[in-house]
């Protein structure tokens, strides 16, 4: 039976006062409340809930408007930043349901309704007002284009009009991407002939402070800048020697890679200093040093894991041989420290300490994993998380700390970054593990799945399954490589790992709460989502 | 073998022409062909599905009503139709209707009527499973949990009553054009054939993800304004041409450009239309002839 007739199951508690005066009154209350406590965006969902709870405690009559309060609190947190964003960098999202439900002559494209401004509904007036100011307006149907825009990572500011339902849907996305955004709820939730409080909308649309907010970090343009530094000629000048081994190292540095670490370093530096695109030789050398450490660890990792390919090409020890590869890795480590020493940075000692601690921890994490492989005993959950924390977190931490140290950040910020990187690194590694299990078959056999959180979780609950996998692999039974991924026990373990991934992502965000620099808070929130994507 | 005839009148805020339905019924009566008149199939199939037992079990039937594809999937989705029974669906305004009727044998049964007396307007989506690929875009898109997924992965309409009257938004996001709102005014959302494959794609969605969002949006706005301007120019040209024509030619021209056969005067004077009554006429609530754009939904 495919047609079913269920009653609507939409939850209530999302009332909205139907008068502009009442709405204004609540906005004023929130302004007074926010004056007492500092609201640094982006606020996490729990923070918004906490503040709306506080407000209701002070003004019990507001309990009917819980969701509205959440929207307004979030708006307030963003308002100062939004006011600093030029109108022509803002996008206004209007809902299609404002249009006349039967007589709207407009056509649609994939982004939404193409308003002809016929005047049958309020859209014409709103759009011409927004046009005059310089907004980019989209009349959307549902939340698809809103989601797309928010997740594109290229939008600097969004003003959204919609029903409270739709905000519930898009709020998590706006938080994840840390896009400066303001929301204005519709009076009704009927999805047709909707009305919005024009006084409020007007207030928001025309909000503009004299100074521009300079905190939007354009990751794409940083990426572009960084690319130049890894061109062969640039690296040759930096490394300063013409030698066969050096040339192999330069080619390995030059080969693809996302350059996440240098990008992160520059982004943090930009966020803290408020400058962008102004990078001197010191910064360049430090960015290259970070990449040297990273690329060295990849060469050595590929040898240890017996991987034949990276970036779709033969790994260095496959192209040459293992001794050559080990030596090139070592050379890059040397260059890494050399670049720091010759960077003429103000805090060379601090930088050296961060780099060497990162180097040491990585080797300890890697060491624990390698020694485990020798004794064949399965790891516990604690052990595996410790390995992750040692093995993956330092790489991010070094990059983040370098950016912060260069910008003269205080201890407080360095500590927050430390806590954030630890959670970020673990989340990254869990996600990386999960990727191996999201395939249809295990790519390079037992070694890929063994030192992973998923197999550890599986082994904890179903040791006999893990044993079966082990035995069949030992006996050369290749069907296990596909079958293993289809077991419901494996899928269950993946689900648990996904839940842990979610927890570590949350921990990373929690670490950011005490940050009172919105620019850095916004950046690190965005980075988390870029480095560890996913819906959670 | 005699065929059973069903006619859906789409009475609850429907969109098919009452006149066409009436004409069809009198033709059948003249020829002594028995039929069953369903006041509103969308409504009955959801609220009183038992009333349509004769349709589900009919060995060989013809159903006249709105778009064939809409009716076919509406009935199929009920899950009650006896499998293997041939049922043909035709629009009441189909060209081949006369031929179809002349091939029918007369019988002396009396017309039957299946009433729909609920006040609720049956507005809800019907999934065309010949097209649906289970992508779940609709499921994620709908804010009111109209859709859900069965254990086997089939996307189903599970809470039809949650659907908001006149909102066809999920149908627009469906990449397969697989969602039908039988009472909608436009094709293919109303069950018209469309191209049967994919929604027409420009690459704007890709562009906003890969290029500078702001320039993409500005370009979109500019293109649209140009197209509006062109439309205005075209309208103006048409009006000018009409003004130049003599009386006899004028009527001819009107027929060609407007395809509108309502008898209001809005065509002659598109500017002052306040007193035009065609919108309130009972035949069609969505007459757009005022705009003079020769809309597909024009009466």
Burial category of A289 from C-beta neighbours within 10 Å (exposed 0-12, middle 13-18, buried 19 and up)? buried
What distance in Å separates the CA atoms of residue A365 and residue A301, rounded to the nearest whole number?
12
Residue B172 at interface with chain A, using a CB cutoff of 8 Å? yes
- In a shared domain, residues B16 and B92: yes
Cβ distance A2 to B78 less than 8 Å, yes or no, reads: yes
Residue B157 lies in a domain: yes
Residue B98 at interface with chain A, using a CB cutoff of 8 Å? no
Query: In this structure, what is the dihedral angle of CA atoms A95, A96, A99, A104, given to the nearest 10 degrees?
Result: 160
Cβ distance A6 to B159 less than 8 Å, yes or no, reads: yes
Q: Distance from B126 to chain A by nearest Cα, in Å?
A: 9
The tokens of A463 are what?
A: 């040791």
Cβ distance A136 to B158 less than 8 Å, yes or no, reads: no
- In a shared domain, residues B67 and B134: no
What distance in Å separates the CA atoms of residue B228 and residue B225, rounded to the nearest whole number?
5
Containing domain of residue B144, as a range? 126-198
Chain B residues within 8 A of A10 when measuring between CB atoms: 144-145, 162
Query: In this structure, what is the dihedral angle of CA atoms A222, A223, A225, A227, given to the nearest 10 degrees?
Result: 160
What does pTM read for this prediction?
Answer: 0.72
- DSSP assignment of A158-216 equals EEEEE-HHHHHHHHHHHHHHT--EEEEEBS--SSSS--B-HHHHHHHHT---SSPP---
Chain B residues within 8 A of A89 when measuring between CB atoms: 214
Smallest CA-to-CA distance from A422 within A447, A440, A397 is with A397
- In a shared domain, residues B105 and B137: no
DSSP single-letter state for residue B51: G
Distances (CA, A) of B35 to B26, B71, B80, B123: 11, 17, 21, 26
Cβ distance B157 to A4 less than 8 Å, yes or no, reads: yes
- DSSP assignment of B90-110 equals EETT-TTHHHHHHTSPP--PP
Q: Is the CB of residue A2 less than 8 Å from the CB of residue B78?
A: yes
One-letter-per-residue 3-state SS of A17-67 = CCCHHHHHHHHHHHHHHHHHCCCCCCCCHHHHHHHHHHHHHHCHHHHHHHH
Contacts (Cβ under 8 Å, ≥6 apart) of B65: B6, B7, B8, B9, B10, B16, B38, B41, B71, B89, B91, B92
Which of B46, B166, B200, B202 to mutate: most A Cβ within 10 Å? B166
The nearest alpha carbon in chain B to A165 belongs to B143
Residue B32 lies in a domain: yes
Contacts (Cβ under 8 Å, ≥6 apart) of A83: A207, A208, A209, A213
Among B155, B174, B198, where does a domain finish?
B198
CA A270 to chain centre: 17
Tally the domains of chain B: 2
What distance in Å separates the CA atoms of residue B101 and residue A163, rounded to the nearest whole number?
50
Residue B46 lies in a domain: yes
Q: Distance from B213 to chain A by nearest Cα, in Å?
A: 7
Residue B229 lies in a domain: no
Chain A residues within 8 A of B13 when measuring between CB atoms: none
Rg (CA), chain B: 22
Nearest-by-Cβ selection for B145 from A2, A9, A109: A9
Q: Is the CB of residue A133 less than 8 Å from the CB of residue A64?
A: no
Helix ranges (DSSP H) in A475-535: 480-483, 488-512, 518-531
Binding-face residues of B in 180-239 toward A, CB within 8 A: 199, 201-202, 204-205, 208-209, 212-214, 217-218, 220-221, 224, 228
- In a shared domain, residues B48 and B146: no
Cβ distance A192 to B224 less than 8 Å, yes or no, reads: no
Among B114, B135, B150, where does a domain finish?
B114
The tokens of B262 are what?
A: 């309502």
Chain A residues within 8 A of B167 when measuring between CB atoms: 97, 191-192
Q: pLDDT (tens digit, 0 to 9) for every residue of chain A, 536 residues total?
A: 344 444 333 444 568 899 999 999 999 999 999 888 889 999 988 899 999 999 999 999 888 898 899 999 999 999 999 999 999 999 999 999 999 888 888 888 888 888 988 889 999 999 999 999 999 999 987 677 788 888 888 899 999 999 888 888 888 888 888 999 999 999 988 888 899 999 999 999 999 998 888 888 988 889 988 999 999 999 999 999 889 999 999 999 998 788 999 999 999 999 999 888 889 999 999 999 999 999 999 999 999 988 898 888 999 999 999 999 999 999 999 999 999 999 999 999 999 999 999 999 999 999 988 888 777 677 889 999 999 999 889 989 999 999 999 999 999 999 999 999 999 999 999 998 898 888 888 766 666 556 789 988 998 999 898 888 888 888 888 888 888 888 999 999 999 999 999 999 999 999 999 999 999 999 999 999 989 987 54
Number of CB atoms found within 10 A of residue B50's CB: 8
Parallel/antiparallel/unpaired status of strands B4-8 and B60-65: parallel
Chain A residues within 8 A of B144 when measuring between CB atoms: 8, 10, 165
Report pLDDT for B100: 83
Q: What are phi and psi of B103, to 5 degrees?
A: -80, -5
Distances (CA, A) of B81 to A199, A220, A300, A476, B10: 54, 57, 66, 53, 20
Q: Is the CB of residue B196 less than 8 Å from the CB of residue B131?
A: yes
Nearest-by-Cβ selection for B157 from A2, A105, A169: A2
Distances (CA, A) of B229 to A110, A116, B223: 21, 10, 10
DSSP, collapsed to helix, strand or coil, labels residue B86 as strand
Q: Is the CB of residue A69 less than 8 Å from the CB of residue A14?
A: no
What distance in Å separates the CA atoms of residue A184 and residue A204, rounded to the nearest whole number?
9
- In a shared domain, residues B109 and B32: yes
Residue B269 lies in a domain: no
Q: pLDDT (tens digit, 0 to 9) for every residue of chain B, 299 residues total?
A: 578 899 999 988 887 888 889 988 888 888 888 899 999 999 999 989 999 998 898 888 999 999 999 999 999 988 888 887 788 999 988 887 888 888 887 776 788 889 888 888 899 999 999 899 888 888 877 778 899 988 888 999 999 988 888 777 788 778 788 999 999 887 788 888 765 444 444 577 778 877 888 988 988 888 888 777 767 755 655 565 555 554 434 444 444 444 444 444 444 444 444 444 444 444 443 433 444 443 333 33
Residue B262 lies in a domain: no
- In a shared domain, residues B8 and B79: yes
Nearest-by-Cβ selection for B77 from A2, A9, A138: A2
Chain B residues within 8 A of A154 when measuring between CB atoms: 208-209, 212-213
Among B172, B198, B224, where does a domain finish?
B198
**How many Cα atoms within 13 Å fall on the side-chain side of residue A462?**
16
- In a shared domain, residues B77 and B34: yes
What distance in Å separates the CA atoms of residue A460 and residue A382, rounded to the nearest whole number?
12
- In a shared domain, residues B51 and B19: yes
Tokens 């009107």 correspond to what residue? B254
Residue B89 lies in a domain: yes
DSSP single-letter state for residue A295: H
- In a shared domain, residues B87 and B44: yes
- In a shared domain, residues B14 and B81: yes
Report pLDDT for A480: 85
Binding-face residues of A in 72-101 toward B, CB within 8 A: 88-89, 91, 96-97, 101
Smallest CA-to-CA distance from A421 within A531, A314, A328 is with A531
Residue B155 lies in a domain: yes
DSSP, collapsed to helix, strand or coil, labels residue B147 as strand
Binding-face residues of A in 338-377 toward B, CB within 8 A: none
Count CB pairs under 8 A between chains A and B.
126
* CA dihedral over A165, A166, A169, A175, signed as positive or negative: negative
Binding-face residues of B in 43-62 toward A, CB within 8 A: 45-47, 49
What distance in Å separates the CA atoms of residue A151 and residue A241, rounded to the nearest whole number?
44
Smallest CA-to-CA distance from A56 within A24, A21, A75, A30 is with A30
- In a shared domain, residues B16 and B102: yes
Chain A residues within 8 A of B214 when measuring between CB atoms: 88-89, 136
Report pLDDT for A535: 57
- In a shared domain, residues B11 and B74: yes
DSSP, collapsed to helix, strand or coil, labels residue A428 as helix
CATH of the domain at B135: 3.30.70.20
């Amino acid at each position: 039976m495919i047609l079913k007739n269920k009653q609507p199951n939409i939850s209530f508690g999302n009332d909205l006062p139907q008068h502009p005066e009442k709405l204004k009154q609540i906005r004023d209350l929130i302004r007074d409340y926010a004056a007492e406590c500092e609201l640094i965006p982006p606020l996490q969902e729990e923070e918004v809930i906490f503040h709306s709870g506080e407000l209701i405690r002070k003004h019990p009559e507001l309990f009917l408007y819980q969701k509205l309060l959440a929207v307004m609190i979030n708006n307030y947190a963003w308002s100062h930043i939004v006011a600093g964003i030029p109108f022509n960098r803002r996008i206004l999202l209007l809902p299609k349901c404002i249009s006349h439900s039967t007589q709207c002559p407009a056509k649609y494209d994939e982004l939404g309704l193409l308003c002809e401004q016929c005047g049958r509904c309020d859209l014409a007036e709103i759009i011409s007002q927004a046009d005059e100011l310089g907004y980019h307006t989209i009349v959307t149907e549902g939340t698809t284009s809103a989601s797309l825009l928010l997740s594109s990572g290229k939008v600097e500011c969004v003003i959204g009009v919609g029903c409270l339902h739709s905000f519930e849907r898009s709020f998590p996305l706006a938080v994840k991407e840390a896009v400066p955004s303001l929301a204005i709820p519709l009076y009704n939730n009927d999805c047709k002939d909707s009305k919005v409080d024009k006084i409020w909308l007007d207030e928001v649309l025309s909000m503009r402070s004299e100074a521009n907010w300079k905190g939007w970090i354009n990751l794409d343009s940083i990426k572009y800048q960084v690319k130049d530094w890894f061109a062969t000629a640039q690296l040759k000048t930096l490394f300063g020697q013409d030698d066969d081994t050096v040339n192999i190292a330069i080619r390995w540095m030059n080969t693809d890679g996302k350059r996440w670490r240098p990008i992160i370093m520059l982004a943090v530096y930009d966020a803290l200093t408020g400058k962008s695109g102004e990078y001197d030789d010191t910064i360049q050398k430090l960015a290259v040093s970070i990449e040297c450490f990273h690329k060295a660890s990849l060469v050595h990792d590929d040898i240890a894991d017996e991987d034949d390919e990276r970036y779709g090409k033969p790994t260095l020890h496959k192209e040459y041989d293992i001794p050559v590869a080990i030596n090139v890795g070592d050379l890059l480590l040397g260059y890494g420290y050399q670049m720091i020493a010759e960077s003429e940075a103000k805090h060379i000692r601090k930088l050296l300490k961060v780099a060497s601690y990162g180097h040491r921890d990585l080797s300890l994490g890697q060491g624990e994993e390698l020694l485990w492989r020798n004794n064949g005993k399965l790891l516990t959950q604690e052990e595996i998380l410790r390995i992750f924390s040692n093995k993956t977190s330092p790489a991010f931490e070094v990059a983040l700390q370098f950016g912060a140290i260069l910008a003269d950040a205080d201890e407080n910020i360095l500590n927050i970054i430390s806590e954030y990187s630890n959670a970020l690194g673990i989340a990254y590694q869990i996600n990386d593990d999960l990727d191996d299990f999201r395939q249809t078959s295990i790519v390079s056999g037992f070694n890929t799945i063994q030192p992973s959180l998923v197999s550890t979780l599986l082994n904890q609950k179903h040791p006999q399954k893990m044993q079966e996998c082990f035995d069949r692999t030992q006996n050369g039974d290749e069907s296990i490589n596909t079958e293993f991924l289809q077991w419901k026990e494996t899928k269950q373990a993946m689900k648990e790992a996904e839940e842990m991934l979610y927890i570590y992502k949350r921990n990373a965000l929690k670490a950011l709460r005490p940050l009172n620099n919105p620019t850095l808070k916004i950046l690190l929130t965005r980075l988390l989502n870029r480095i560890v994507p996913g819906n959670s | 073998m005699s065929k059973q005839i069903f006619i859906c009148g789409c009475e609850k805020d429907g969109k098919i022409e009452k006149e066409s339905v009436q004409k069809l019924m009198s033709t059948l009566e003249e020829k002594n062909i028995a039929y069953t008149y369903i006041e509103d199939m969308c409504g009955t199939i959801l609220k009183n599905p038992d009333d349509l037992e004769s349709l589900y079990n009919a060995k060989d039937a013809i159903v006249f009503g709105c778009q064939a594809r809409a009716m076919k999937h509406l009935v199929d989705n009920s899950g009650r139709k006896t499998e293997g029974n041939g049922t043909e669906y035709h629009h009441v305004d189909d060209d081949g209707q006369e031929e179809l009727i002349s091939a029918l044998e007369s019988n002396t049964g009396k017309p039957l009527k299946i009433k729909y007396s609920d006040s609720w307007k049956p507005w809800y989506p019907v999934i065309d499973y010949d097209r649906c690929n289970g992508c779940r875009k609709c499921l994620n898109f709908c804010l009111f949990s109209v859709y859900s997924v069965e254990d086997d992965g089939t996307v189903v309409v599970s809470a039809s009553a949650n659907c908001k009257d006149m909102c066809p938004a999920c149908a627009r996001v469906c990449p397969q054009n697989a969602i039908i709102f039988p009472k909608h005014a436009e094709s293919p959302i109303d069950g018209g054939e469309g191209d049967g494959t994919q929604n027409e794609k420009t690459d704007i969605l890709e562009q906003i993800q890969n290029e500078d969002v702001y320039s993409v949006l500005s370009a979109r706005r500019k293109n649209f304004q140009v197209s509006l301007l062109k439309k205005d120019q075209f309208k103006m040209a048409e009006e000018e041409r009409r003004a130049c024509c003599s009386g006899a030619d004028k009527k001819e021209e009107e027929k060609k450009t407007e395809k509108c056969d309502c008898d209001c005067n809005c065509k002659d004077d598109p500017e002052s239309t306040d007193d035009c009554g065609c919108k309130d006429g009972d035949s069609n609530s969505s007459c757009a002839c005022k705009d003079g754009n020769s809309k597909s939904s024009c009466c």
